[in-house]
C-alpha cells in the first residue's frame, strides 16, 4: 500500500522532495513501511502551472485550488512549503480540520501561531510536524524529543541564522566591515534585499520560541525573546574580541534560571575553544547543556533545498510509519510545563562594554566607579589610545544581572564625555 | 501504571540510572506515558550485595541470581550494564527468550555477537536497544534511524575513542610524547593499565561495526574493519601535520564506494578547518556526509556515568512508550541491505608518508620515482634536514587506492637507505 501526499507550493525546498523520494526509495520504504507518493502539487495559478509543465514538470499533477487537495480522500499528508503567514496558515488549519496530517517548514508561522495550530491538530487527532522549521538540515527537534527525553536541559545555545553567521565569519576571519559582508551575502543570495529578519536577530528569535518548547517544555512567546542583532558590530569590536581570546557570534540562548526561563538573541563573545566558536559560514549549530549528557552539539546546514527537504521527508516517514502502526496523531513534542519567565535579577552573564572616553588618566577610574556603584566587578580591562584625544576602553565584567546591566548602560550613556560604543554578552563563568 | 525494570550490574553507569529517573521524573512520565521503576538489581554475590547495602543502597532490591529477574513476570525491561562478553551474553539471550526487552551499552558484545542477539530479539518479538554502545552520550544511533531515514549517507567519519583523542590532544596542543600522554590518561582513569583496545583502534573499530549497520544498512564484521592505532605517532609527526595545516586524529571511517562498503580506523590528517579537527580531549563526534543534509556532525561525551546513563534511559523510555502503544518489538534499526565490501582499487584517499633518507640530493628524485612507478602523483613534499647525514622527507600524495598504497609501502621498505617512519591517511579531495 502506498501513502499519498500533497505538496503546497513548488519552490526550491518542495522540488527537493521528489528528488529524495526517488534517490532513496528502498531505504524509505524500509523506514516508513509504505511507499510514499506525491499525488498533487498546489501551485498559485494556471500561469505557474503551465510554466512548471513547460519546464519539464509534466509527471506532477499540479492543481490550483486547495480544495482539490482537501477534498481528496486518498491524500493522508499535506506538506506546506509556501512560506509566509497567509494563506499557509489557513490552508494548514483546513487540512488539519479535515483530518489530514501536516508537515511544514514554516518557522515564522509556527513561532507566532504555533500554539493555535498545535491545538487544532490535537483536537483533530492528526500530526503536525516541523523538524525543518529550526536549523534546516539539523535534526534537532526530534533529537530533543526522543534522545534527550531522558535528560534535563539547563541551557541551550544556538548559532541558528546562517546569513548573519556568514557575515560575521567574513568579519572575523577576513576583517570585513558589516556593510561589505552584507553586500556579499546579498550577492550570494543568502540575504534578502531587506535583511532585517536575519541581521536583527528576529529569525533566530523565532527559532528560540520553537526550541524552548522542545528543550524546556515551555511555550515562550516571540515577545519574550529579547533580540539584538549584528548591525552595530564594527571591525574594531571583532579585533578586540580576538585579542581577548574570543570569537563574535550571534547566539540565541535559552536558560532555566532558579526563577524561570530566559531566552534571548544577542551578539556574544564565545571563547575560541567553545564548540560553537568554530561554526562558520552559513552552517548552524545547537549546543545543549544538560544534567545527563553534560554538553552536546548538533551541527549542520541551517537552510538550503536538500537539507530542508531531508528534514521534511524525515517527518513524512515518521507520520507514515505511525499511520501503519495505528499510533498517529500524538503531538510532535509532548513535553509541557507551565511557562514561568525568569526574574531579571536571575538572568546573569559576564558582559563586555566598549566605551570611548576622553584620553585622560582619571577616566578608567571614573569608569570603574560606575561599575562599582552597581556592584559589578571587573574581569578584564583593555585600554587603547586612538587619536590622542580619545581612548577606547574595553571592559569585561564578571557576571551581571539584567538590572545591573541596564543601570550600567544608562549611567554610561548619561555620563558626559563617555560614549558607549557597543555591549556584548560574554560566554564564561 | 508503572513499568518495572531490572538492572544487571551496579557499577558506575548503572548507578547513574536511578539518578536520572529521579531528577527528571515528570518529564520522563510525559515522554514514556508511564512511571519507570527499578524493582531488582543483579549483583555478583552476597558480599557485593552487603557492601552496597552498607554503602547506602538499602532502597534497592539487590538479587544475586539472574533467575530472580527472569522469573519475575512483572519485569518488562532488563538493562545489562555488566560489560564484557560473558555472562552478559548469556543473560541477555535468556532475557530475550523469556520475552523481556533488553537495553545494553555493551559495545564489545554487540560488535562481535550483535547479529545473533538481534535475531533472537526479532524471533521473540522483543526490543534490543543500545544507543549507549556507540559514543556514550551522543544520540547518534537513534538519529541515524529516525532523522536520517530520509537521507542517503555516503561517508561517515568518527572520532569515537575518548582515550586516544585525549592523548592526541595532549600531543597536538602541548607537544607531549605518546608515552607521557598515555601515562597521564592512565593516571586520570581514562586509559586502562592495558590500553590496547583504545590505542590500537580496536574500540573504535567495534563502533564502526555498529555504525555501519545504522548508517549504511550493512552488517560489516569486525574483521572487515582494518584498524591501525596511535602507538607509532611521534611529536615530529604532529609538528609536520601542523606545518602542513592539519591536525592528527584517530578517525574511524565508513564509506560507500562504487563497488561497496569500506570501513577502517586509522590515524588521519584532518584539515584544521574540518569540524572534527576541533573535537578535543575525551569528547567524541560523528561526522556524516549525505546526499540530502550534505554535512552534519553530532558532538558530545563518548563515555562517563551520566552521559551513558542518559542514552540508556532514552532507550528505556522509547521501549516503555512502545509498550504503551502496543507497538514494541520492532528492530532498533530496520535499514538492511546485503553486505558488499568495496574492491581495494575503489578505496581511495590521499596519504602522507614520512620517510627517513640519506641526506643527499638525489634522494627526493629516487623517492619520486617509486611513487611514479605506482602511478601516484604528489601533492606536497616537505624536506627537513635532521643531523647532516639523514633527512626527513614528508610526502602528501593525491588520492591513492589500497593496492597502490601497499605497493608504495612495500617498495619504500625494500629500498636500501630509506626508512618509512609512518603513514597517515589525509582527509581531502
Tell whether residue B170 is among the known ligand binding residues: no
Tell me whether residue A340 is in a domain.
no
For residue B175, give the H/E element and its range.
Answer: none
Instruction: Give A330 to chain B, closest Cα distance, Å.
Output: 11
Q: Which of A40, A49, A170, A207 is catalytic?
A: A207
- Find the closest chain B residue to A147 by CA distance: B314
Determine whether A402 is an active site residue.
Answer: no
Chain segment A80-132, per-residue pLDDT in tens: 999 999 999 999 999 999 999 999 999 999 999 999 999 999 999 999 999 99
What is the distance in angstroms between the Cα of B285 and the nearest Cα belonging to chain A?
9
Query: Does residue A342 sit within a domain?
Result: no
| CATH code of residue B151 | 3.30.360.10
Count of CA atoms in the C-beta half-sphere (13 A) of A4: 10
CA distance B308 to chain A (A): 7
User: For residue B380, what is the domain's CATH number?
Assistant: 3.30.70.260
**C-beta atoms of B292 and A310 within 8 A:** yes
Which residue, among A127, A65, A122, has the nearest Cα to A102 in the 3D structure? Answer: A127
Judge whether residue A429 has pLDDT over 60. Answer: no
Q: Among partner residues A138, A146, A337, which is closest to B314 by beta-carbon distance?
A: A146
Locus of grid cell 592512565 = B186
Backbone angles phi, psi at A266, to 5 degrees: -160, 150
Query: Cβ of A292 and B150 within 8 Å?
Result: no
What is d(CA B306, CA B312) in angstroms, rounded to the nearest whole number?
10
Classified as helix, coil or strand, B135 is: coil
**Is residue B312 located within the same domain as residue B392?**
no
**Does any domain span residue A263?**
yes
B32–chain A nearest CA distance, Å: 9
DSSP category for residue B329: T
User: pLDDT value at position A288?
Assistant: 98
- B-chain residue closest to A273, CA distance: B278
Looking at B40, B89, B170, B207, which residue is catalytic?
Answer: B207
Q: Are A171 and A335 in contact (CB under 8 A)?
A: no
Are A132 and A150 contained in the same domain? no
Q: Which three cell numbers stand for residue A99?
A: 483530518
Domain-embedded: residue A338: no
Tally of domains in chain A: 3
A97 and A192 together in one domain: no
* B158 within domain boundaries: yes
For A179-218, the pLDDT digits (tens) are: 999 999 999 988 888 899 999 999 999 999 999 999 999 9
Residues B229 and B264 in one domain: yes
Q: Is residue A259 part of a domain?
A: yes
A137 to B314: CB separation less than 8 angstroms, yes or no:
no
Rg (C-alpha) for chain B, rounded Å, is 24
User: Is residue A103 one of the residues assigned to a domain?
Assistant: yes
Residue positions forming the annotated binding site of A for L-homoserine = 192
Q: Please check whether residue B69 lies inside any domain of the structure.
A: yes
Residues B82, B173, single domain; the answer is no
- Does A148 lie in the same domain as A289? yes
Together in a domain, B75 and B147? no
The grid coordinates of residue A322 equal 505511525
Q: Which of B26, B296, B334 sits opposite A137 (nearest CB)?
A: B296
C-beta separation of B96 from B118 below 8 A: no
Which one of A296, A317, A335 has the shortest CB-CB distance to B150? A317
Chain B residue numbers touching A138 (CB-CB < 8 A):
293, 296
Q: How big is chain B, counted in residues?
A: 429
Please tell me whether residues B284 and B314 are part of one structural domain.
Answer: no
Domain final residue pick, B300, B335, B356: B300
B155: Cβ–Cβ under 8 A, 6 or more apart, which residues? B253, B254, B255, B256, B288, B289
Query: What pLDDT, on the 0 to 100 scale, is given for residue A428?
Result: 80
Range of the domain at B381: 348-426
According to DSSP, the β-strands at A348-349 and A295-301 are unpaired
Please tell me the distance from the alpha carbon of residue A30 to that of residue B107, in angstroms, as a whole number.
Answer: 25
Q: Do B31 and A334 count as a contact with CB atoms less than 8 A apart? A: yes
Tell me the C-alpha distance between A121 and A108, whole Å.
18
**Among A147, A294, A299, which would you mutate to test the B interface (most chain B Cβ atoms within 10 Å of its Cβ)?**
A147
B152 and B105 share a domain?
no
Q: Which of B273, B298, B317 sits opposite A298 (nearest CB)?
A: B298
SS3 track for B352-390:
EEEEEEECCCCHHHHHHHHHHHCCCCEEEEEEEECCCCE
Q: Are residues B167 and B296 in the same domain?
A: yes
A132 and A149 assigned to the same domain: no
Q: Which residues of A are annotated as a binding site for NADPH?
A: 107
pTM of the model: 0.95
Q: For A125, which DSSP code? A: T
Pick B150's closest partner by Cβ from A28, A149, A296.
A28
pLDDT for res A362: 77
Decide: helix, strand or coil at residue A191.
coil
Inform me whether the pLDDT recorded for B233 exceeds 70.
yes
Q: Which three cell numbers stand for residue B13?
A: 553507569
Give tens-digit pLDDT for B267-306: 999 999 999 999 999 999 999 999 999 999 999 999 899 9
Contacts of B318 in chain A (CB under 8 A): 146
Q: In terms of DSSP H, where are the helices of A124-201?
A: 140-146, 162-174, 178-187, 196-199
Look at residue A354 in the predicted model and tell me its pLDDT: 95
Helices (H) and strands (E) in chain A, counts: 15, 18
ipTM: 0.95
Q: Look at strands A35-42 and A2-8 and give their pairing.
A: parallel
Per-residue exposure over A329-368, b if at least 16 CB sit within 10 Å of its own CB, e if not: beebbebeeebebbeeebbbbbbbbbbebebeeebbeebb
Q: Are A194 and A131 members of one domain?
A: no
Q: Which of A135, A292, A335 to probe by mutation at the B interface, max B CB count within 10 Å?
A: A292
Amino acid at each position: 500500500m502506498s501513502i499519498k501526499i500533497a505538496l503546497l507550493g513548488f519552490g526550491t525546498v518542495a522540488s527537493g522532495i521528489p528528488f529524495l523520494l526517488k534517490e532513496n526509495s528502498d531505504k524509505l520504504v524500509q523506514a516508513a513501511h509504505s511507499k510514499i507518493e506525491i499525488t498533487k502539487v498546489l501551485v498559485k495559478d494556471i500561469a505557474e502551472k503551465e510554466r512548471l509543465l513547460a519546464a519539464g514538470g509534466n509527471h506532477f499533477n499540479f492543481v490550483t485550488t486547495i480544495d482539490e487537495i482537501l477534498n481528496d480522500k486518498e491524500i493522508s499528508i499535506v506538506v506546506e512549503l509556501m512560506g509566509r503567514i497567509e494563506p499557509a496558515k489557513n490552508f494548514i488549519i483546513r487540512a488539519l480540520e479535515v483530518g489530514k496530517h501536516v508537515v511544514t517548514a514554516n518557522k515564522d508561522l509556527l513561532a507566532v501561531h504555533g500554539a493555535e495550530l498545535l491545538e487544532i491538530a490535537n483536537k483533530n487527532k492528526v500530526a503536525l510536524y516541523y523538524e525543518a522549521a529550526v536549523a534546516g538540515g539539523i535534526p534537532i527537534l526530534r533529537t530533543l524529543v526522543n534522545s534527550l527525553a531522558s535528560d534535563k536541559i539547563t541551557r541551550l545555545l544556538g548559532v541558528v541564522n546562517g546569513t548573519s553567521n556568514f557575515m560575521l565569519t567574513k568579519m572575523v576571519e577576513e576583517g570585513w566591515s558589516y556593510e561589505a559582508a552584507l553586500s556579499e551575502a546579498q550577492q550570494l543570495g543568502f540575504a534578502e534585499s531587506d535583511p532585517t529578519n536575519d541581521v536583527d536577530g528576529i529569525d533566530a528569535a523565532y527559532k528560540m520560541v520553537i526550541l524552548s518548547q522542545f528543550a524546556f517544555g515551555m511555550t515562550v512567546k516571540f515577545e519574550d525573546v529579547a533580540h539584538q542583532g549584528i548591525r552595530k558590530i564594527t571591525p574594531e569590536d571583532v579585533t578586540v574580541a580576538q585579542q581577548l581570546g574570543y570569537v563574535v557570534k550571534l547566539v540565541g540562548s535559552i536558560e532555566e534560571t532558579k526563577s524561570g526561563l530566559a531566552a534571548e538573541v544577542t551578539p556574544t563573545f564565545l571563547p575560541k575553544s567553545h564548540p560553537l566558536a568554530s561554526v562558520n559560514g552559513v552552517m548552524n549549530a545547537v549546543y545543549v547543556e544538560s544534567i545527563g549528557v553534560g554538553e552536546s552539539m548538533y551541527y549542520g546546514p541551517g537552510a538550503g533545498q536538500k537539507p530542508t527537504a531531508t528534514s521534511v521527508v524525515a517527518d513524512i516517514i515518521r507520520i507514515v510509519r505511525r499511520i501503519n502502526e495505528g499510533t498517529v496523531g500524538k503531538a510532535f513534542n509532548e513535553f509541557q510545563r507551565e511557562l514561568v519567565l525568569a526574574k531579571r535579577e536571575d538572568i546573569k552573564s559576564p558582559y563586555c562594554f566598549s566605551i570611548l572616553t576622553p584620553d585622560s588618566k582619571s577616566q578608567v577610574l571614573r569608569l570603574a566607579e560606575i561599575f562599582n556603584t552597581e556592584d559589578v566587578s571587573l574581569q578584564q580591562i583593555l585600554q587603547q589610545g586612538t587619536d590622542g584625544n580619545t581612548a577606547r576602553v574595553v571592559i569585561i565584567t564578571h557576571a551581571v544581572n539584567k538590572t545591573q546591566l541596564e543601570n550600567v548602560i544608562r549611567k554610561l550613556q548619561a555620563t558626559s564625555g563617555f560614549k558607549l560604543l557597543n555591549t556584548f554578552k560574554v560566554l564564561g563563568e
